[in-house]
């Protein structure tokens, strides 16, 4: 019964989305306020109904209702409760339900917090959101119904893939989807602006915080996925340039560009048209990612052709939204007035440089990801584009951008002085040179490593120097500097943290790839191996029994200078239901570095295959991402960005009613398309 | 009941995880595969990272535990022991398995579109920026036509005459 309620709620959400697709936009075209006002309640209604549907599916999984196909295929009565819940989105149908739940969540948030938006803009935005939602509800109901029943119901389920039975599945997909789908808001705002034919001041104020929120989640989601792969897969890799990873990385690159161009738009009223295009592209890449992951096209073009139902549906959605929005853009954009002028060497110029390189980086990833598909379609032959290609080509382009990262914030708006900016960064440059020399000197020949470390220090020190210059550290009395730091806007803090975080990521990557130590050997109990300055001794094997698996763990004691510092217990797990085994790695963190052990098979002589890694500074890769996300949060909490806090003096009195309203207090007048 | 296929992948990483998981927990490079000569073994490892495990989702033979990856690792080491150069080992594998085995496609005419995508995108972007700048500065520098001058004049004189501040006019809207 609960399952049917869930199914029915999803149908109701679809029906509401259809209403929301038409009524508000009709209202905004005809100036009918009542029709426009239907948008917010129907968005909230959608959220309610999708939430009911999701709750029903979670319930079915928790009580192990094996009359539901989705539960049978992905659950088992003995599975721990946490994985019964996370297993809901650990499969195609459930993850699509999570997708629309988050879409409805964002729609609901716009409805709730959009009170101060011009009514027609709000109506259009929510209508566009509803178009996306309708398409995906229809997709779920037609091709991927998570509520399908099976009769007779089997007594037991097939269990969830053991690799997914991990805390990572609880966190990674929701974070990633919050990011992916969050960019739909920027998309809807862009399309709404194009439909209206004007870019409101409200537009700029709204797009930045929503993109920022989505970007924070996507950053954390990607970092989390990377760490999950790192500890789960057992060979110490953390990024594989797999098409599925690229699918989440491309919206991140485009979204990062979007954040930067939105700054120019907000501060200087320039790059408006480009920002609109980026908003469209970012979400288009999210949709493309969904298509790549969900259609099975990645495995092979042929696999896609044999079971095309879902793939073709998503491809249709993809073409409709990307093609439609780009057509709308091509039609409407020429009518939008370009904004302010600036010299090539200026803050705006630096941000354009940033956008150019991020977009090119994104294009490289896109071409590299799709090239094997296109190549196979064109020639019938298969080709691989793997990590060695991406590392080389993407790395080369992005390194140029990274060199420029500290320079940009040092340039003045409108017209800057590159030489003066470089002079103010002398300390960062000196530190970078010292760091590079310190790496290069003892190990002559490691020129790439030296350059990489230099680059990382340059970016990190550059962020700190810029911050110090803002608060006049050591140039003014300390108390003065402190009060300046307190008065520093959140966005400034955000930039400092985000840029510093990038430096941390680079340092982590360079260090991990250059100084990674590895031992692969067969160890017998009692044997000792030294790695990274630690003595690792295999004490013995311990058989254990888990809730739905049995495992063979190896006990290693870790000593440094004869003193035991910790112990590690990597294991091999056997899951009876699916007859699959997994290798659980064990990791000890020392400072920013990690000791990593994976266990292989034990042979007849009692020797176990063991892989040990010493990964210096590896955690900086993920900590750097967390610092970047924290920077995003600082920027998000900036008072000036807070939606609903435009100019306090005009709180009462002026009400936005419709497209005819021109807000005299707004920083930038609406741009009309004529 | 439908069979559980590759669709039981949850998330971006999941697909990758599944590919790895279906192949048991054995480690990729096994201790008994490794060559005695550390220099030769290092070359083998570097080469392995550039070669694709043909039956896997997206893994190098260095990372994969599949049987085929094992065979290829042994093959690479055999060729190196026989005195092949790195390029010769790659050629040998391409002759046997096609270009699919290379994780980094060759820089040749067939793959020009792939290799030049970045530089071409950069060039196109730079040209677009240049064109946009020229258009913007042309728009900004264009002097007003006589007709436009007259209209501005008319508006200004009308406002000055009636004494209405333009801002008040607007707020009444």
SS (H, E, C) chain B: CCCCCCCCCCCHHHHHHHHHHCCCCCCCCCHHHCCCCHHHHHHHHHHHCCEECCCCCCCECCCCCCHHHHHHHHHHHHHHHCCCCHHHHHHHHHHHHCHHHECCCCCCHHHHHHHHHHHHHHHHHHHHHHHHHHHHHHHHHCCCCHHHHHHHHHHHHHHHHHCCCHHHHHHCC
Q: Residues 6 or more apart from A218 whose CB is under 8 A from it?
A: A175, A176, A178, A179, A180, A182, A183, A248, A251, A252, A255
**Highest mean pLDDT, choosing among A153-157, A328-332, A629-633, B73-77:** A629-633
SS3 of A598-643: EEEEECCCCCEEEEEEEECCCCHHHHHHHHHHHHHHHHHCCHHHCC
Measured between CA atoms, the residue of chain A closest to residue B139 is A338
- Between CA A490 and CA A88 the distance in angstroms is 38
Q: Among the listed ranges A295-299, A435-439, A481-485, B156-160, which one has the minimum average pLDDT value? A: A295-299
Residues of B with Cβ-Cβ distance to A520 under 8 angstroms: 27, 29-31, 34
Asked if A329 contacts A191 with a C-beta cutoff of 8 angstroms, the reply is: no
Lowest mean pLDDT among A42-51, A127-136, A206-215, B156-165: B156-165
CB contact under 8 A, A367 and B113: yes
Say which of A74, A225, A393 has its CB closest to residue B11. Answer: A225
Closest chain A C-alpha to B133 CA, distance in angstroms? 8
* Residue B5 covered by a domain: no
Same domain, B93 and B33: yes
Q: Over 70: is that where the pLDDT of A663 sits?
A: no
Contact A600 B26 (CB under 8 A): yes
Tens of pLDDT, residues B38-80: 888 889 988 998 999 888 777 888 888 788 888 899 999 999 9
Domain-terminating residue out of B55, B83, B104: B104
User: Percent of chain A having pLDDT more than 90?
Assistant: 59
Q: Which of A568-577, B52-61, B131-140 has the lowest mean pLDDT?
A: B131-140
Nearest residue of A to residue B50, measured between CA atoms: A388
Is B114 in the same domain as B84?
A: no
Identify the DSSP state of A564.
E
Mean pLDDT lowest for which of A267-276, A423-432, A490-499, A658-667?
A: A658-667
Cβ–Cβ gap A338/B132 under 8 Å: yes
Residue B70 structure tokens: 């094992």
The answer to the question of residue B130 being in a domain is yes
What pLDDT shows up at residue A640? 64
Residues B36 and B93 in one domain: yes
pLDDT at A602: 85
Q: Which residue of B has its CA nearest to A311?
A: B7
B135 lies in which domain range?
108-142
Is residue B162 a part of any domain in this protein? yes
For A147-204, write each residue's pLDDT tens digit: 999 988 898 888 888 878 888 888 999 999 999 999 999 999 999 999 988 786 668 7
Q: How confident is the model at residue A601 (pLDDT cuts 50, 70, 90)?
A: confident
Q: pLDDT tens across A348-366, in order?
A: 899 999 999 999 999 999 9
Name chain B contacts of A367, Cβ cutoff 8 Å.
113-114, 117-118
HSE (CB half, 13 Å, CA atoms) of A375?
A: 21
For B12, list phi and psi in degrees, rounded to 5.
Answer: -55, -50
Any chain A CB within 8 A of the CB of B38? no
In B120-149, the residues whose Cβ lies within 8 Å of chain A are 121-122, 125-126, 129, 132-133, 135-137, 139-140
Looking at residues A247-258, what average pLDDT do you find?
Answer: 95
Q: Chain B partners of A397 at a C-beta cutoff of 8 Å?
A: 118, 122
Residue A650 pLDDT exceeds 70? no
Residues of B in contact with A386 (CB under 8 A): 52, 58, 60, 103-104
| Contact across the interface for B63 and A229, Cβ inside 8 Å | no
Distance of CA A663 to the CA centre of its chain: 35
C-beta atoms of A91 and B102 within 8 A: no
Q: Residue B4 falls within a domain, yes or no?
A: no
Query: Residue A457 above 90 pLDDT?
Result: yes
* Confidence band, pLDDT 50/70/90 cuts, at residue B7: very low
ipTM above 0.90, yes or no: no
Q: Pairing between strand A608-615 and A671-672?
A: unpaired
For the residues A470-488, what does the mean pLDDT come to?
86
3-state secondary structure of A153: coil
In a domain, B2, yes or no: no
Do B100 and B154 have their domain in common? Answer: no
Quote the mean pLDDT of chain B.
76
By CA distance, what is A393's nearest residue in B?
B118
- Based on the domain organization, do B43 and B122 belong to the same domain? no
- Average pLDDT of the segment spanning A648-667: 37
Chain pair A-B, CB pairs under 8 angstroms: 223
Q: By the CB < 8 Å criterion, does B172 face chain A?
A: no
Q: Confidence band (pLDDT; 50, 70, 90) for A567?
A: very high
Confidence tier at A265 by pLDDT (50, 70, 90): confident
CB atoms within 10 A of CB A265: 24
Q: Do B47 and B79 fall within a single domain?
A: yes
**Nearest 5°: phi and psi at A658?**
-165, -170
Cβ contact A73–B2 (<8 Å) = yes
Residue of A459, A463, A467 lying closest to A488 (CA atoms)? A467
**Side-chain half-sphere exposure of A57, counting CA atoms within 13 A:** 30
List the beta strands (DSSP E) in A164-271. Answer: 198-199
Residues B31 and B78 in one domain: yes
Q: What is the pLDDT of residue A644?
A: 47
Q: Is the Cβ of B170 closer than 8 Å to some Cβ of chain A?
A: yes
Does the residue B48 lie in any domain? yes
For residues A479-491, give the mean pLDDT.
87
- Residue B34 in tokens: 């490794």
Distance from the A494 Cα atom to the nearest Cα atom in chain B, whole angstroms: 28
Quote the pLDDT of residue A36: 93
Q: Indicate yes or no: CB of B12 within 8 angstroms of CB of A581.
A: no
Instruction: Give the residue with greater pLDDT, A267 vs A238.
Output: A238
The reported pLDDT for the residue numbered A299 is: 62
For residue A651, what pLDDT is reported? Answer: 39
Half-sphere exposure of A466 (CA within 13 A, CB side): 25
Restricting to B residues 56-95, those with a Cβ less than 8 Å away from any Cβ of A are: 57-60, 63
β-strand pairing of A563-568 with A593-602? unpaired
Q: Do B18 and A341 touch (CB under 8 A)?
A: no
**A76: nearest Cα among A15, A150, A165, A139:** A165
Same domain for B29 and B75: yes
Lowest mean pLDDT among A31-45, A95-109, A290-304: A290-304
- Give the mean pLDDT of B107-129: 92
Q: Using the predicted structure, report yes or no on whether residue B140 has a pLDDT greater than 90.
A: no
Choice between A157 and A18, residue whose per-residue pLDDT is larger: A18
Q: How confident is the model over B88-101, as a mean pLDDT?
A: 91
Of A150, A168, A385, the CB nearest to B105: A385
Note the helical H segments in A75-153: 81-86, 92-113, 119-143
Q: With an 8 Å Cβ cutoff, are A386 and B115 in contact?
A: no
A657 pLDDT higher than 50: no
**What whole-number percentage of chain A has pLDDT above 70?**
92
Q: Residue B162: is its pLDDT beyond 90?
A: no
- Which of A138-152, A320-334, A659-673 has the weakest average pLDDT? A659-673
Distance, in Å, from the CA atom of A468 to the CA atom of A367, rounded to the nearest integer, reads 41
Residues B48 and B116 in one domain: no
Q: Is residue B66 part of a domain?
A: yes
CATH number of the structural domain spanning residue B70: 1.10.8.640
pLDDT at A666 over 70: no
- Tell me which of B1, B2, B17, B23 to substitute to probe the interface with A (most A C-beta atoms closer than 10 Å): B17
Per-residue pLDDT, A166: 85
End-to-end CA distance of chain B: 65
More confident residue, A55 or A482: A55
CA pair distance A134, A13, nearest whole angstrom: 9
- Residue B151 pLDDT: 86
User: Is residue B93 one of the residues assigned to a domain?
Assistant: yes
Residue A90 pLDDT > 60: yes
* pLDDT at residue number A169: 87
Task: Examine the domain organization and report whether B95 and B46 are in the same domain.
Answer: yes
Residue B131, Cβ neighbours under 10 Å: how many? 10
Same domain as B96, residue B19:
yes
Last residue within a domain, chosen from B104, B134, B158: B104
Instruction: With cut-offs at 50, 70 and 90, classify the pLDDT of residue A82.
Output: very high
A523: β partners: A608
pLDDT of A639 over the 90 cut: no
Number of domains comprising chain B? 3
Sign of CA pseudo-dihedral A110, A111, A116, A121: positive
Q: Where residue A671 falls among pLDDT bands split at 50, 70, 90?
A: very low
Picking from B2, B103, B170, the nearest residue to A388 by CB comes out as B103
Residue A485 to residue A467: CA distance in whole angstroms: 9
Residue A625 has what pLDDT? 97
Q: Are B99 and B167 members of one domain?
A: no
- Mean local confidence (pLDDT), A505-531: 92
What is the Cα–Cα distance from A206 to A178, expressed in whole angstroms?
17
Check B111 against A176: CB less than 8 A apart: no
Has residue A323 got a pLDDT over 80? yes
Q: CA-CA distance, A146 to B165, in Å (whole number)?
A: 63
A464 pLDDT tier (thresholds 50, 70, 90): very high
* Interchain contact, B103 vs A386, CB within 8 Å: yes
Upper half-sphere CA count for residue A665 (Cβ side, 13 Å): 12
For residue A325 the two structure tokens come to 């929005």
């Amino acid at each position: 019964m609960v399952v049917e309620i869930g199914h029915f709620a999803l149908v109701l959400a679809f029906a509401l989305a259809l209403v929301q697709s038409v009524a508000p936009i009709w209202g905004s075209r005809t100036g009918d306020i009542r029709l426009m006002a239907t948008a917010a309640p129907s968005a909230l209604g959608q959220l309610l109904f999708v939430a009911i549907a999701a709750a029903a599916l979670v319930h079915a999984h928790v009580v192990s209702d094996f009359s539901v196909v989705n539960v049978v295929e992905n659950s088992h009565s003995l599975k721990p409760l946490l994985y019964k819940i996370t297993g809901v989105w650990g499969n195609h149908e459930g993850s699509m339900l999570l997708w629309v739940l988050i879409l409805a969540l964002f729609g609901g948030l716009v409805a709730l917090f959009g009170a101060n938006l011009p009514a027609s803009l709000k109506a259009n935005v929510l209508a566009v959101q509803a178009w996306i939602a309708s398409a995906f509800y229809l997709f779920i109901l037609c091709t991927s119904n998570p509520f399908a029943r099976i009769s007779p119901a089997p007594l037991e389920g097939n269990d969830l893939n053991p690799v997914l039975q991990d805390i990572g599945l609880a966190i990674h997909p929701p974070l990633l989807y919050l990011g992916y789908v969050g960019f739909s808001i920027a998309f809807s705002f862009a399309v709404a602006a194009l439909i209206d034919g004007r870019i409101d001041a409200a537009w700029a104020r709204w797009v930045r915080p929503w993109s920022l929120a989505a970007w924070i989640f996507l950053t954390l989601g990607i970092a989390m996925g990377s760490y999950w792969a790192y500890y789960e897969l057992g060979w110490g890799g953390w990024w594989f340039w797999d098409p599925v990873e690229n699918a989440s990385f491309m919206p991140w690159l485009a979204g990062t560009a979007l954040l930067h161009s939105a700054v120019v738009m907000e501060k200087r009223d320039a790059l408006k048209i480009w920002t609109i295009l980026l908003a469209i592209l970012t979400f288009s890449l999210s949709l493309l990612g969904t298509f790549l992951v969900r259609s099975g096209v990645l495995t092979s073009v042929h696999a896609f052709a044999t079971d095309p139902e879902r793939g073709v549906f998503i491809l249709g959605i993809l073409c409709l939204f990307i093609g439609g929005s780009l057509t709308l853009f091509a039609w409407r954009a020429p009518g939008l007035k370009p904004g302010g002028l600036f010299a090539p060497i200026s803050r705006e110029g630096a941000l354009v440089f940033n956008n150019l390189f991020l977009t090119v980086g994104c294009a490289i990833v896109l071409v590299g990801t799709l090239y094997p598909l296109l190549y196979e379609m064109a020639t019938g032959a298969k080709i691989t584009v793997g990590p060695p290609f991406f590392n080389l080509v993407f790395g080369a382009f992005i390194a140029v951008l990274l060199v420029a990262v500290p320079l940009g914030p040092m340039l003045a708006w409108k017209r800057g002085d590159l030489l003066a900016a470089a002079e103010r960064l002398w300390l960062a440059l000196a530190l970078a040179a010292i760091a590079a020399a310190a790496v290069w000197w003892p190990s002559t020949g490691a020129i790439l490593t030296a350059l990489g470390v230099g680059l990382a220090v340059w970016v990190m020190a550059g962020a700190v120097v810029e911050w110090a210059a803002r608060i006049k550290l050591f140039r003014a009395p300390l108390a003065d500097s402190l009060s300046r730091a307190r008065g520093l806007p959140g966005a400034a803090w955000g930039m400092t943290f985000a840029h510093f975080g990038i430096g941390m990521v680079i340092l982590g990557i360079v260090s991990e790839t250059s100084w990674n130590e590895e031992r692969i050997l067969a160890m017998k109990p009692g044997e000792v191996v030294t790695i990274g300055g630690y003595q690792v001794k295999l004490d013995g094997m311990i058989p254990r029994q888990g809730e739905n698996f049995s495992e063979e763990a190896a006990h290693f004691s870790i000593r440094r200078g004869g003193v035991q510092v910790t112990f590690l217990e990597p294991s091999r797990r056997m899951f009876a239901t699916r007859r699959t085994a997994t290798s659980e790695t064990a990791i000890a963190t020392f400072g920013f570095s990690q000791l990593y052990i994976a266990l292989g098979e034990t042979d007849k002589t009692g020797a176990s295959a063991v892989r040990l890694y010493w990964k210096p500074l590896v955690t900086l890769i993920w900590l750097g991402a967390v610092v970047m996300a924290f920077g995003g949060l600082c920027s998000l909490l900036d008072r000036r960005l807070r939606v609903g806090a435009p100019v306090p003096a005009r709180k009462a009195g002026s009400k936005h009613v419709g497209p005819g309203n021109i807000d005299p207090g707004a920083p930038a007048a609406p741009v009309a398309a004529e | 009941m439908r069979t559980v296929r590759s669709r039981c992948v949850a998330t971006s990483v999941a697909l990758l995880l599944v590919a790895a998981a279906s192949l048991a927990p054995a480690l990729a490079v096994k201790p008994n595969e490794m060559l005695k000569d550390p220099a030769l073994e290092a070359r083998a490892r570097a080469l392995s990272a550039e070669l694709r495990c043909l039956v896997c989702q997206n893994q190098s033979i260095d990372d994969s535990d599949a049987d085929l990856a094992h065979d290829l690792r042994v093959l690479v080491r055999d060729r190196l022991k026989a005195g092949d150069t790195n390029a010769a080992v790659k050629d040998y594998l391409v002759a046997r398995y096609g270009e699919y085995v290379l994780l980094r496609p060759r820089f040749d005419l067939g793959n020009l579109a792939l290799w030049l995508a970045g530089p071409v995108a950069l060039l196109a972007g730079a040209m677009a920026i240049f064109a946009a700048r020229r258009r913007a500065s042309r728009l900004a520098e264009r002097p007003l036509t006589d007709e436009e001058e007259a209209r501005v004049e008319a508006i200004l004189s009308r406002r000055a005459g009636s004494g209405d501040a333009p801002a008040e006019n607007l707020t009444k809207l």
